[in-house]
Amino acid sequence: MLKHGPGGATVHTAGDEVHVPARAGPVVDTTGAGDALAGGLLATWLLRGGDPAHLREALEAGVDCAALAISDIGARALAAR
């Protein structure tokens, strides 16, 4: 996975490349953005059985988690609001 900050994120596989742009929204503090992205991607992908067909959905979930993480000050556990 390559993180591109405001440019989104890209995952490369043996035969494919999946890119998801960053979400629009406030950027308050980027602490923890990469961890949130990786956690959201992995959790979603594994819940879908690790099937490569769900890689885009998983990367979108990761980008969503990163957007939420950067919208407030400091690293913290993400909780439903």
35 has catalytic annotation: yes
Angstrom distances, CA of residue 36 to CA of 5, 14, 26, 47: 13, 24, 16, 16
Instruction: Choose, from 35, 51, 64, 72, the residue flagged as catalytic.
Output: 35
Q: Which two tokens stand for residue 11?
A: 């995952």
CA 2 – CA 76 distance, rounded (Å): 22
CA 46 – CA 66 distance, rounded (Å): 18
Residues annotated as catalytic are 35
